[in-house]
Structure 1
Amino acid sequence: MRPQTSANKLEPTTMEIRRDPSLPVIDHDRIMSLTKETNHKWTTKDAILYALGIGLGTDPLDRAELDFVYEANVKVFPTFPVVVGFHGGPLEDIGIDYRYVLHGEHAVTLHRPFPPEGCATAHGRILGAWDKGHGKGAVFSQEKTMTLDGDTLPLATIRTTSFARAEGGFGGPRDGQPAPHSIPARSPDRTVRISTTPGQALLYRQSGDLNPLHADPDAALAAGFHQPILHGLCTFAICCRAVLSEFCDFDPLMIAHHEVRFSAPVYPGEELTVYLWKDDSVVSFEAHVEARNVTAIRNGMTKLLI
């Protein structure tokens, strides 16, 4: 049987939501025409810092993990592109009130091995904008395809989906949002427990997401949390760690695609229990914080190159 946990929202719903009236009116046709080109540069040090931020290298004698955090023979963790391409993209130009935005879904597709250092250009476009209705929020999704400078073939594609709680009623379509990946009904094939550390968000944020919600206790309280929360993309990567360890023998080149739907926050220091189901080249997964009886990640899916 699939493990049962209570349904949880990403954030308390008791907060009063009033969209900033100074923001531009959201128009569906304008949104769907938005594109943006951004430039990104990274180094081997960035790749290692990211690997440390997602918890690799805790045991310095673990040679499988050491390759991700030691420059002598560095391997790039498969989800590293999401922090390389974290900033920029047409989502920024919609006019969303970011005070009330929740991270809904995230995905990365690796078209070729991601190098430990390089420069790339990302071409971003809006995939969709769906209106849930007045008081119910809206969903916006963008895609960024990265290409190494001087090359023509795509390197990685990143998909970001945001739930904008203040934008409901803008007049966009209510139907057509892609259905999430379905988790098998049978019992999990594997179960992995991965602990986070109390200071993990402080380290992970050095890879680019400096939102004070993940560091400042006062900012966390203002947002309705009793303490800073772990970055959703850190949890995203931890789930990939589980897949990599159980089905890939820590070979990052076996990961072709990784996606999740965020369901509830994780607090630094908590243990994540990741349930995995493997069907040929597809690994399905969910991540739970059993100590609080919550599901942090739903509808997870990784595609393997086998």
Structure 2
Amino acid sequence: MNLEAVRNFRFNSVSQDFSRRDTILYALGLGFGSDALDPDQLRFLLEDRLVAVPSICCVLAHPGRWVAAPELAIDWIRLLHGEQTFEIHHPIPPEGSVKGDYQIAAVEDKGVDKGAILHLVKTLSDAATGARLATVRSVLFLRGDGGCGGFGVPGQSAGPLPGSPPALTLEISTLPQSALIYRLSGDYNPIHADPEAARKAGFERPILHGLCTFGVATRAILSAFAGNAPERLQSLSVRFSRPVFPGETIRTEFFPSGDEIRFRSIAVERNLVVLDRGTARLTM
């Protein structure tokens, strides 16, 4: 990694017009509609009453594969998505025009053999009014870029979950074709669709997008604690632990405390934690 090039890298603002069709397609990628008679699920799927899943803020106005810019010299092939957070400032509309402004806030050097941590911040705004809709933070683990130095002040990571049993659990099944649907929301990385590409990356078969699993957790929070009212969800953060395979069942375990809900998600068939140290905050 060329640290000075990363420090001085400036993104162009990313503008996107999105339609109700895009909002519905995103919800379908998260498995909404598994019960086609459930009015709570249909709110996210029918255009005459449509509301957006808050986690759509993570995919709107995406900056593309900027990490592959030659001047940055990032070993992007070995990059892993480490953590994801969003904070909602105004409910995401079901259609409209948005602008994404990006900044590399910090790089933490963990050492030559341990890699580096890059902190990326997106501010998502309404393109017409300039109103801030969401702040989205991504933590990227650059496994091949340790020993290059660092800069900035990294955000604070969430602590471990309570040691007590969960107060509530909720299971959501993914479909064998979930990744093939979700990729239409903008992430066309072939490891999520092409078996050969997945094998070259070290996976036995295509894996589900991490942000899809993140969206399934958002869906679980909305269902279990918010009455499927997206305007009640203020923020959500997770640490990615392991990939999910399409078709697996995701069990989310909750540890609520006031307006803060700690959680983790488990791939039931393998009994492995796939999202950890989750925190959600809701309005009452």
User: TM-score interval w.r.t. the shorter chain?
Assistant: over 0.9
* DSSP-derived class of the 2:221 partner: helix
CA distance, structure 2, for counterparts of residue 177 and residue 38 of structure 1: 23
CA distance, structure 1, for counterparts of residue 270 and residue 166 of structure 2: 20
Identify which of 159, 167, 176 aligns with 2:145. 167
The amino acid across from 2:275 in the alignment is I
CA distance, structure 2, for counterparts of residue 173 and residue 150 of structure 1: 34
The amino acid across from 1:273 in the alignment is R
CA distance, structure 1, for counterparts of residue 155 and residue 132 of structure 2: 25
> Are 2:81 and 2:141, in contact at CA under 8 Å, matched by a contact in 1?
yes
CA distance, structure 2, for counterparts of residue 289 and residue 178 of structure 1: 26
Q: How far does residue 256 in structure 1 lie from its aligned partner after superposition?
A: 0.8
Identify which of 156, 166, 174 aligns with 1:188. 166
Change (3 A) 1:224 1:159: same
Kindly indicate whether residue 7 of structure 2 is the aligned counterpart of residue 32 of structure 1: yes
Kindly indicate whether residue 61 of structure 2 is the aligned counterpart of residue 61 of structure 1: no
The amino acid across from 1:231 in the alignment is H
* DSSP-derived class of the 1:79 partner: helix
Q: How far does residue 39 in structure 1 lie from its aligned partner after superposition?
A: 1.4
Identify which of 99, 114, 117 aligns with 1:139. 117
C-alpha RMSD of the superposition: 1.9
> Are 1:67 and 1:74, in contact at CA under 8 Å, matched by a contact in 2?
yes
Identify which of 42, 48, 63 aligns with 1:72. 48
1:15-164 → structure 2 map (5 Å cutoff): 25-27=1-3, 29-36=4-11, 37-88=13-64, 94-164=72-142
* DSSP-derived class of the 2:37 partner: coil
Aligned length: 281
Q: How far does residue 34 in structure 1 lie from its aligned partner after superposition?
A: 3.3
Q: How far does residue 54 in structure 1 lie from its aligned partner after superposition?
A: 0.4
CA distance, structure 1, for counterparts of residue 45 and residue 114 of structure 2: 43
Q: How far does residue 32 in structure 1 lie from its aligned partner after superposition?
A: 3.3
1:276-287 → structure 2 map (5 Å cutoff): 276-287=254-265
Change (3 A) 1:90 1:226: closer
* TM-score, length-scaled by structure 1: 0.87
* DSSP-derived class of the 1:238 partner: helix
Change (3 A) 1:278 1:164: same
CA distance, structure 2, for counterparts of residue 250 and residue 177 of structure 1: 29
Change (3 A) 1:295 1:98: same
Kindly indicate whether residue 212 of structure 2 is the aligned counterpart of residue 234 of structure 1: yes
Change (3 A) 1:256 1:92: farther
Q: C-alpha deviations, 1:47-76, integer Å up to 9, x for none?
A: 000000000011110111011011111011
> Are 1:35 and 1:89, in contact at CA under 8 Å, matched by a contact in 2?
no
Percentage of identical aligned residues:
37
Q: Which runs of 5+ in 2 are unaligned?
A: none
The amino acid across from 1:58 in the alignment is S
The amino acid across from 1:129 in the alignment is V
CA distance, structure 2, for counterparts of residue 91 and residue 252 of structure 1: 32
> Are 2:83 and 2:238, in contact at CA under 8 Å, matched by a contact in 1?
yes
> Are 2:67 and 2:76, in contact at CA under 8 Å, matched by a contact in 1?
no
Change (3 A) 1:176 1:115: closer
CA distance, structure 1, for counterparts of residue 123 and residue 193 of structure 2: 30
> Are 1:108 and 1:159, in contact at CA under 8 Å, matched by a contact in 2?
yes
> Are 1:188 and 1:277, in contact at CA under 8 Å, matched by a contact in 2?
yes
| 1:263 aligned partner | 241
> Are 2:7 and 2:151, in contact at CA under 8 Å, matched by a contact in 1?
no
